[in-house]
Chain A
Amino acid sequence: MSAAQPLLRTRALRHFWPDGGHALALEDLAAARGESLFLHGPSGSGKSTLLGLLAGVLAPSSGDVLILETSFSSMSAAARDRFRANHLGYIFQQFNLLPFLTPIENVLLGCAWSAERKKRAGGTHVRMAAEAQRLLSSLGLGAHVWSRTKTGELSVGQQQRVAAARALIGGPALLLADEPTSALDASSRDAFLKLLLEECAIYGTGVVFVSHDLALARHFDRTVALASAPVES
């Protein structure tokens, strides 16, 4: 896999909020396969909006997002859903795990709707479960935790590892992370990031990590400042 292969590109991306008061204009962004990008911006600089645009959840007012040379604007909603399931992993700020499932089941949700990711995670249920266990263990969640606790009873740090494993299982091409470490203290945050990026490297997964905390930037290949704050339209 060569680093020159493009993973993500944006072209003249602009987003207007429905209230009409604000607009977000972005400088063009590019990332190669397997590259990890730290996207830095202060609160209110439109980070979550940008992630929504990159995930194809929000439709830009103008401009386009291309992932693996595929343009979101050229796809139907259903095709975007399929594409997202196959190629994107997303770690939420709130983790958004289903509390009534076991940690393993939560991780397996990550590849439940993508045949490609299922295949990459092992194909059979047994192998996928083994892969989920491996991921949890590598991210620092021991078998004694995931084997007997419901997800809803886990601590914040443990839930975050489950959420990361869910985003990573089946090796998506791109991992989008929305301030997933904001609830952690500095030392566990660094340890977690290290493990996360190691796993990404194994899969060759590119990372776009959004945070206001510049101290994290050193873990990533490249840092991009979210230059364009919301402007009056």
Chain B
Amino acid sequence: MRLLSLTLKSMRQRKAGVALTVFTVALSVFLLLGVERVRTDARLGFASTVSGTDLLVGARSGPVTLLLYSIFHVGEATNNITWKSYQDIRAMPEVAWTVPLSLGDSHRGFRVTGTNSDFFVHYHYGRGNALAFASGQPFSDLYDAVIGSEVAHQLRYKVGDRIVLSHGLGGANLATHADKPFRVSGVLAPTGTPVDASIAVSLEAIEAIHVDWHSGIRLPGMEASAEQARHMDLTPKAITATLVGLHSRLSAFAVQSAINDYPEEPLLAVLPGVALGELWHLVGTAESALRVVSAMVLLVGMSGMLTALLGMLGERRREMAVLRAVGASTRTVFALLVMESTLLTAAGMIAGVVLLDATTAVAHNYLLATAGLVIDQNPAPGEWLLLVVVLALGSLAGCIPGWIAYRRSLADGLQVRL
């Protein structure tokens, strides 16, 4: 009789126990991989807050500072880039595209980014995802604004709503640009990046709401109405930072040093990935915490799995004894037990992975919207190793009763009334 068919027939006899064991293994695998995926995706999601951008350029400060104010909207820029410098960068032969970012205004605590419609084309996050619109479209009119998903969610805005921007970045009693209200033209889908909590308008709009302002105050007697502003020269004088895409990644370092050595004003170009990595080091304790959780889950999951497997195999003691008594060698008994625990573990692993994939598929949008967490359905890189460890442990679990059976099953079979 083939050992496999014997095992399968024996397992069919113990359906409930088998189902329970597979379920336990599946849960362990589910937890193990789930925590691992959350951990990796939290890091990856952070590391790819901005992806596809080769260089991030701003006024000279530190790489992390530049990243914090231009991408994460934390803190303020110490200085700006002149429009001329921006044009010079644009004109460099290696540069494929640029997306200007002009910061400094806000709306009810959410930052406003002045940019152009290339932002929706070139700003990528995660594994190269472009921004998507949940509703509406990019700004077309001067006074159009596109809001991030969190803005829409918290302030209950929808396409067509009128909003008024404030001058400055926070605090009470901000002067408002009440004379030039904006219309929400689009709502972005959730991304899990700071874009969710920001409002994008055109660079010209930023210019328009400031035409009658100087040094942070509105100039008395020089008011220009929203309509009048439309006919004025709205070319920006300066921007805060720019995303730069290159034709070839290979030229990143050359362009970076060219920008850093730009003679007309002190600029700083950083590779976003490098700066993000530096920043992650600062906030990386969260990952260490997850790593500890991961290790504990591994321990508990494996213990649960081993307990279930050992219990299951214990039920086969009598069967092993019978087989030994009719001439099966100890090696055969060993093989049967290891085969069963391997089969159970493999089935549990498959069930666990399917369960995890189903859960991530279902919970994907919910997690993105509530936790800003992008959980990828793709396996995390360490996952295969984990699965191999689980399978090895499962097979090893079969060796324990295998070893016990090795020592006692023959005598059991002939004498013990099991």
Q: Which residues of A are at the interface with B, using a C-beta cutoff of 8 A?
A: 48, 51-52, 55, 57-58, 77-78, 81-82, 84-86, 88, 90, 92, 94, 96-101, 105, 108-110, 112-114, 166, 178
**Taking chain B's interface residues, is the majority helix, strand, or loop, or is none over half, making it mixed?**
helix
**Chain A min CB distance to B353 (Å):** 29
**Chain A min CB distance to B242 (Å):** 72
Chain A hits for B329, CB < 8 A: 78, 81-82, 85, 113
- Report yes or no: B328 in contact with A113, Cβ–Cβ below 8 A: yes
Chain B interface size range:
20 to 34
Q: Provided the pairs A48-B414, A48-B415 are in contact, do residues A99 and B13 lie with their beta carbons within 8 angstroms?
A: yes
Q: Provided the pairs A57-B411, A81-B327, A81-B329 are in contact, do residues A94 and B417 lie with their beta carbons within 8 angstroms?
A: yes
Chain B hits for A105, CB < 8 A: 1, 9
* Interface contact tally, CB-CB below 8 A: 70
Complex Cα spacing A47 to B359, Å: 61
Residue ID in chain A nearest B328 by CB atoms: A113
- Report yes or no: B322 in contact with A112, Cβ–Cβ below 8 A: no
Asked whether any CB of chain A lies closer than 8 Å to the CB of B190, the reply is no
Chain A hits for B327, CB < 8 A: 81, 84-86, 88, 110, 112-114
- Report yes or no: B322 in contact with A96, Cβ–Cβ below 8 A: yes
Chain A hits for B331, CB < 8 A: 78
Asked whether any CB of chain A lies closer than 8 Å to the CB of B326, the reply is yes
Chain A hits for B13, CB < 8 A: 99-100
Q: What is the 8 Å Cβ interface bit string for chain B, positions 316-340, against chain A (1 contact, 0 not)? A: 0011011101111111100000000
A-B contact pairs, 14 of them (CB 8 A): A48-B414, A52-B411, A55-B414, A57-B410, A86-B327, A92-B325, A96-B318, A97-B322, A100-B13, A108-B1, A109-B1, A109-B323, A110-B327, A113-B329
Most buried by A among B322, B323, B411: B322
**Chain A min CB distance to B408 (Å):** 11
**Chain B min CB distance to A192 (Å):** 20
**Chain A min CB distance to B16 (Å):** 14
**Chain B min CB distance to A105 (Å):** 7
- Report yes or no: A81 in contact with B330, Cβ–Cβ below 8 A: yes
Chain B hits for A57, CB < 8 A: 410-411, 414
